[in-house]
Amino acid sequence: MLTIKEKIAEIKKKIDEALANVKFTKSLYEIKMKFMGKGGEVSDLSKSMRDVAPEDRPEVGKQINELRCWADGKFGELDEKLKAEELERKYAEEKIDVTMPVRESAEGAYHPNTLIRNELVSVFSGMGFEVFEGPEIENDYYNFTALNTPKDHPARDMQDTFYLSNDLLLRTQTSAGQIRVMENKKPPIKILSPGKVYRSDDDATHSPMFSQMEGLVVDRGITLCDLKGMLDEFAKKIFGEDVKTRLRPSYFPFTEPSVEVDVSCFECGGKGCRLCKGTGWIEVLGAGMVNRRVLQGCGIDPDEYTGFAFGMGIERIAMLKYGINNMKLLFEGDVRFLKQFKD
């Protein structure tokens, strides 16, 4: 039989051996449990105190205690060392090289149409306009009849229409939205209506689908002067502070009088250049005073209220502003073209 002293020495030796090759705190913990935990060799040693003669117990107890302290110290020390090593390894693995070049991510850009649309909405909402978006599939009434363009009206030929059925069509103009607004809202009305429109038309400056921005103001005492004043403001904000506007007589069934609006050429300042084809002026939109018959049809008394309306092609404004010579570029979705546009 080994004496307690010998047993202690043996356990110490075993612990030393067990700890010699430990690399991870997890295995260290397992070893610790094996010796110090319930049923472990050190705990068993304490249990064997029962068999020790009463007079020897204080001395033996002291020796067992010393063993515990010694073992706790060993495990504790090694635990700290291994933890530090593990942390080092973790840091090394997760190390980030901040000098490494970043992976280039493709940066998106707004489509020129969106840029112009946003700019127009921002300019006009600054003047108190609210945005209204009508449907792209319209019926004959909203797109034509209510806009004073009945079935046999020659002005229907001004726009080649895509019909979906006898009555349904792809709207040819955002003006259709004017009627929807006036039917539902009584003056004062001040709305801006952007959206896609469709016409059977296809060349360098026309596309079967394009975008328009419509404006409508109806209130007591609205005159052509108000339209002119608002257009001056619009031209300055969109094309530049020195840009002027001029009105030329024109014809639209739903406005009377009707005008074509030109802005002075922002490229040459009006002297005449390629952009303005030597005239010093560039046509940008159609407008006019809302025809009495249109107001009447929407239940608005034309003797009490008057209004003006205007409509412009967003692609046209984008082409003028950014110097784009072919409208197709705006619809092809070529990223090399599109990413050149930033606000």
Q: Which residues bind ligand PHE (CB under 6 A)?
A: 173, 175, 214, 252, 255, 286-288, 309-311
Shortest spacing between CB 297 and ligand PHE, in angstroms: 15
Using Cβ positions, the residue closest to ligand PHE within the complex turns out to be: 311
Q: Name the residue nearer to ligand PHE (CB basis): 75 or 307.
A: 307
Closer by beta carbon to ligand PHE, 67 or else 290: 290
Half-sphere exposure of 175 (CA within 13 A, CB side): 29
**Given the complex with ligand PHE, which of 297 and 311 has the nearer CB atom?**
311
| Radius of gyration, alpha carbons of the chain | 43
Helix (H, G, I), strand (E, B) or coil at 91: helix
Q: In whole angstroms, how close is the CB of 313 to ligand PHE at the nearest point?
A: 8
Which residue pairs from 145-149 have beta carbons closer than 8 angstroms and sit at least 24 positions apart in sequence?
A: 146/179, 146/294, 146/297, 146/298, 147/173, 147/175, 147/176, 147/178, 147/179, 147/253, 147/254, 147/294, 148/253, 148/254, 148/291, 148/293, 148/294, 148/297, 149/253, 149/254
| Shortest distance in whole angstroms from residue 276 CB to ligand PHE | 21
**Residue matched to tokens 């406005």:** 255
Least Å distance between CB 106 and ligand PHE? 36
Q: Which CB sits closer to ligand PHE, 175 or 264?
A: 175
Alpha-carbon distance of 40 to 292, in angstroms, equals 103
- CB 103 → ligand PHE: shortest distance, Å? 47
Residue 22 or 172: the one with the smaller Cβ distance to ligand PHE is 172
